[in-house]
Structure 1
Amino acid sequence: MLDAVKEIGEMAIKAENKSLLDVLIEDPNQNGAYKNIIAINFMIDGNDVTFRDVTIEQTDSSKVARYLYSSSGGNGPGYMPVAKITEPEKTFNGKILSWFKILSKKGLKIDNDEKKFLENLNKSLQENKDRILDDIIKFRGEFPKKEGLVLMIKFIENNVNKYIGDIPVFRKLLIDSDNDKYNKLSATDKVCSICGEKKDLVFGKVDTYAFYTIDKIGYIVGGFDEKKSWRNYPVCPDCRLKLEEGKKYIENNLTFRFYGLRYQLIPKFLIGEDFIREDIINIFKDTTKLVTLKDSTEKRVIGDEDDITYFLKDADDSLSLNYLFIQKQNSAERILLLIEDVFPSHLREIFSAKDSVEKMFGDNFTFRNIRNFLSKSDINKRDSDLDGYFLDITDRIFRGRKVDLNLLLKFIMKRVRDEFIEDRYYANATKDGIMAVTFLEKLGLIEMEVYEMEERQLSDFFKKYDKNFETPIKRGLVLLGALTELLLRKQYKDRGAKPFMKNLKSLKMDEKDIKGLLPKVQNKLEEYDSFDKGKRLLAKEVSNYLLLAGDNWHMPVDEINFYFACGINLTDEIAAIIYNKEEELQ
């Protein structure tokens, strides 16, 4: 995966001719949450620095290089005296005033004039810190708490407004500070683990992704000697630059939503960028094209939004895709799932299965139909607690690994039962379930039993659903579910209630319950004077298939009730057929 991240970074650097400084700086308003700046303004006259005032201005993407903002630094001072405000006093003291401790650092690579300038700036800040902080607090209070603000130092020299990025000493210190971070753990004349080449210098603490650390047992080689930790993951300066830019590009352009989860789409060019089709390679080079594809709503399968997978399926297998599901927790990052080496040919198989399901059921199908069962174990819970199961089945779909149908049916029936008991839209839940099962069967991830069945009155109906109902027991359960639903509708029409529902045991019926249900349904229909020829034909078909199924079905309760619920959901379609058959028989 890191090789792929490096390739993306290399592409971005080459396309925009970026330097190390360009890679280090960031747009503080990248996500649109920091639209305003609190600027601490100083007058410059040679090396003399005088505090002027504190003002508010809007962020401007064209000035990103002048802001010199970098999120590096953690809880302490960052690389530069510019920061996003958390609490005014904490940010001012910890990120702005504390930054000037750099002046006491040994071996600081600045000349005497530059040092004098910074000392004067620090002195002016200290002398006016109470007034400055009061103004910062006042401006912070003028904006809603949810609206972010950036705090930075700004200058006026010869009536020209300047940001720290316009002052050479700040640019120099930014690069030096970044280099110092990595030089602490390094080695000379070693092989880079990314490019595989022997380099004059390699770093041992390139933490492009925050899930890599050397401060825990198991991460340090060489007898837990931190100075030898470079052996774990040596990275040369060139590759570090490309990794940083690659991560930044992916976060800004290739990060998508996936039903409450975030994933990054990381392409890998297997035979080199020069051999990939131009229209495919341009997707990852041209940010405008990416935005256009993100805004497209055609043919979703991965998520409800931000899905470019439909376009990428048409590439050839010289390209593979990595899906990185990652969760940020403060300054740390945790990998939830990494799906590596998904080829466009497999994406085509996924879309083919999707198209088959949609044609069969006349409705759109995406991973939403699966997520509906694998979100919360209890509908009243605030947060999703089934993310692990959902990511596991996602992983199996993209890797082409078998799915445990019994486990999936357990979650499907949990939701169907919840809806059924409350007499809500359980038909929708059932439809989601049968579509999901059909999708997985089309991908060959679950196997359906298929018996050779004789031609009967409803054979054409069952053939429409391919392998879903190709055993006697499944057909019997589906038709019994439809017959039961016709009874429930009759009861509700006549009485405004469905008292027969108690016989369905909250959809937890076993083989014995099912076999005893048919005569109960028939008797109740007789009582309502509703056992017409259509329903008699349906009951006859139920009896036939249940007899063919024999005894000892060896079918889990969840599976029994799933197919019964499918019949409830398909009642209208079945009723239309049986009453047409009735007319043909008259």
Structure 2
Amino acid sequence: MLDAVKDIGEMSISTGRKSLLDVLIEDPNQNGSYKNVIAINFTVDGDDVKYKDVTIEETDSQKISRYLYSSAGGNGPGYMPVAKITEPDKTFNGKILSWFKILSKKGLNIDEDERRFLENLNSAIQENKDEILEKIIKFRGEFPKKDGLLLMLKFVEGSTYKYIGDIPLFRKLLVDTDNEKYNKLSANDKVCSICGEKKDLVFGKVDTYAFYTIDKTGYIVGGFDEKKSWRNFPVCPDCRLKLEEGKKYIENNLTFKFYGLKYQLIPKFLIGERFVKEEILDIFKETTRLVSLKESTKKRVITDEDDIMYFLKDADDSISLNYLFIEKQNSAERILLLIEDVFPSHIREIFKAKDTVDGIFNENFTFRNIRNFLSKSDMKKRDSDLDGYFLDLTDRIFRGRKIDINLILKFIMKRVRDEFIQNKYYQSAIKDGMMAIKFLQNLGLVEMEVKAMEERPLSDFFKKYEENFETPIKRGLVLLGALTELLLRKQCKDRGAKPFMKNLKSLKMDEKDIRGLLPKVQNKLEEYDSFDKGKRLLAKEVSNYLLLAGDDWHMPVDEINFYFACGLNLADEIASIIYSKEEEQ
């Protein structure tokens, strides 16, 4: 995955015509809140540096690389003497004046001329600090508090104005300062684990993603000698910056929503960018193309919020896709799920399975139908507590790994029972379950028992659902569920209630309960004078299939009640068939 992140970083740098240094630079006005810059101006003549004045100007997006702004540094001085103003005195003293403490560092990579320049610049600021601060406070007071201001240094050489990013010394110091935190755990003349090349320097604690650490048991090689921990994950300075740029690009452009969860889509170009079709490559190169795809209303399967999978399914297998589900907790990051190496050909299979489900149920199937019963174990809970199960199922779908159907049925029936007991619209929950099982069966992820079945009056109805109902017991349960639903409707029409529902035991019936249910339904229909020819035909088919099923069904309670519930949901379809047959007769 990290190789793929690095490749994305390289592509972003190349497309944006950036240098590696630009990776460290940020746009101070990215959110539009810092529209003005307070500049402390100095005249420069060789080594001679003199304070000139303090001016204000508008932020210019074309000058971002010249501002050399980076938010790194926390409460102390940043990488550069550039900062967003919080309180004028604190920012000036803590971010600008304090930055020059860099001159006291041992091993600072500057020559004598560069040191003299920085010392003279520091002296010029110190000698005029009261006047500078007074003018900063004055400018700050001219703008509302909600308007942010950037504070920076600026230089005049002859008639040319220069920002600190125009001076090579500051650009070099930015890189050196940023590398400083990694130099503590490093090695010379070693092979980088990302590019595979031998480099003069490799770092041992590159924390582009905050889930990598060496302060926990099991993370340190070499007998828990921290100095040897670079062996775990050696990364050269160039690859580190490419990883940073790749991560930033992915977070800004390739992060999508997934039913309450966020995932990052990380493409991997298997045989190099130049062999990937241009229209596919453009998706990842052009931010505007990504935005238009996010806003499109094309048919979806991954999510009904943000989805570019519909487009990527038509790519060839010169790319693979990684899905990173990651959760940020303060400064730490935790991987919820990483799905690696999903090929477009498999995505096409997923869409093919979806299209079959859409055709059978005349409805648009998405992962929402699955999420509906893999969200909360109790609908009264505020937060989702079944994310782990949902992500595991997602992982199996994208990797093509087998799924335990009994576990899925357990969650489906939990939601169906909750709706059924509360007399809500449980048909929707049943339909979600039917569509999900059919989808998984189309992908070959669940095992479905199939037996040769003789032609019967309702055989054509069952053929529509293919392998889902291809055993006598499943067909018997479905038809019994439909017959029971017709009885419940009759009761509701005549009495305004459904007292027979108590016989269904909250959809927790076992084999014995089912065998005793058919005569109860028949008798009750007789009482309501509603056991007409259509229902008699239906009861006859139920009896036939239950007898063919024999004894000892070896079927879990959840599975028994799932197929019975399917019948409750399919009652209209079955009724239309049996009454049309009655009319023909």
CA distance in 1, matches of 2:52, 2:527: 97
Does the 8 Å contact 1:297/1:305 carry over to 2? Answer: no
Given that 2:42 and 2:53 are in contact with CA atoms closer than 8 Å, whether structure 1 keeps it comes out as: no
What is the CA-CA distance between 1:284 and the residue it aligns to? 2.0
Indicate whether 1:44 and 2:41 are aligned: yes
Superimposed CA distance per residue, residues 272-292 of structure 1 (whole angstroms, 9 cap, x where no aligned partner): 222222222222222222222
| Code of the aligned partner of 1:13 | I
Secondary structure of the 2:221 match is coil
Q: 1:572 to 1:87 in 2, by over 3 A?
A: farther
Task: Tell me what 1:490 maps to.
Answer: 490
Shift of 1:306: 2.5
Show the 5 A alignment for 1:417-436: 417-436=417-436
Kindly indicate whether the alpha-carbon contact (under 8 Å) linking 2:349 and 2:443 is maintained by their aligned counterparts in 1: yes
Equivalent residue, structure 2, for 1:547:
547
Give the conservation status (yes or no) of the 8 Å contact 1:54–1:132: no
Change (3 A) 1:204 1:458: same
Query: Aligned residue for 2:526?
Result: 526
Q: In structure 2, what is the Cα distance between the partners aligned to 1:494 and 1:126?
A: 91
Q: Give, as a single letter, the amino acid of the residue that structure 2 aligns with 1:36.
A: S
For structure 2, the 5+ residue unaligned runs are 44-48
- Are 2:333 and 1:336 equivalent residues in the alignment? no
Q: Which has the larger radius of gyration?
A: 2
Name the residue aligned to 2:559.
559
| Structure 1, unaligned runs of 5 or more | 144-148
Please tell me whether the aligned partners of residues 38 and 54 of structure 1 are also in contact (alpha carbons under 8 angstroms). no
Aligned equivalents of 1:163, 1:131: Cα separation in 2: 19
Aligned residues: percent identity?
76
Q: Name 1:477's counterpart in structure 2.
A: 477
Q: Which residue of 1 aligns with 2:411?
A: 411
Give secondary structure in 2 for the equivalent of 1:36: coil
1:389 aligned residue: 389
Residue number in structure 2 paired with 1:465? 465
Change (3 A) 1:77 1:533: farther
Determine whether 1:450 maps to 2:450: yes
Kept in 1, the 8 Å contact 2:72–2:79? The answer is yes
Q: Deviations along 1:428-465, whole A, 9 cap, x unmatched?
A: 11111111111110110001111111111111111101
| 1:64-75 alignment, distance < 5 Å | 64-73=64-73
The question of 1:300 aligning with 2:297 is answered: no
* Cα pair 1:9 1:246 within 8 Å, conserved: yes
Equivalent-residue separation in structure 2 for 1:501 and 1:83 (angstroms)? 70
Counterpart of 1:502 in structure 2 is 502
Cα distance in 2 between the residues matched to 1:492 and 1:137: 73
Q: CA deviation at 1:299?
A: 2.2
AA in 2 matched with 1:467: E
- Work out whether residues 254 and 266 of structure 1, in 8 Å CA contact, stay in contact via their aligned partners in 2: yes
Q: Secondary structure at the match of 1:11?
A: helix
Deviation digits for residues 471-494 of structure 1 (CA, Å, limit 9, x no counterpart): 111111111111111122222222
State whether structure 2 residue 15 is matched by structure 1 residue 11. no
Q: CA deviation at 1:246?
A: 1.7
Provide the aligned C-alpha RMSD in A. 3.2
Distance 1:574 1:124, change over 3 A: farther
Shift of 1:241: 2.6
Tell me, in whole angstroms, the C-alpha distance in 2 between the residues paired with 1:49 and 1:67.
19
Contact 2:54 2:132 (8 Å CA) reproduced: no
Which residue is 2:120 aligned to? 116
Give the SS at the match of 2:468: coil
Partner of 1:35: 32
Q: TM-score, normalised by structure 1?
A: 0.88
What does 1:28-427 align with in structure 2 at a 5 Å threshold? Answer: 34-37=31-34, 41-46=38-43, 47=49, 61-73=61-73, 77-80=77-80, 99=99, 101-108=101-108, 109=110, 110-118=114-122, 120-121=124-125, 143=146, 152-154=150-152, 165=165, 170-427=170-427
Aligned residues: 574
Q: 1:432 to 1:41 in 2, by over 3 A?
A: same
Segment of structure 1 superposing worse, 294-303 or 401-410:
294-303
Deviations 1:559-582 (A, max 9, x none): 111111111111111111111112
Partner of residue 25, structure 1: 25
For 2:512, the aligned partner's letter is K
| 8 A Cα contact 2:40 2:132, kept in partner | no
Q: Partners in 2 of 1:484 and 1:87 — Cα distance?
A: 73
How far off is 1:10 after superposition? 1.9
1:331–1:125 Cα change, 3 Å = farther
Distance in 1 (CA, whole Å) between partners of 2:530 and 2:92 is: 79
Contact 1:38 1:136 in 2 (8 A): no
Question: Equivalent residue for 2:46?
Answer: none
Is contact 2:250-2:264 (8 Å) kept?
yes
Q: What CA distance in whole angstroms lies between the structure 1 residues aligned with 2:95 and 2:494?
A: 73
Query: Match for 2:442: what amino acid?
Result: K
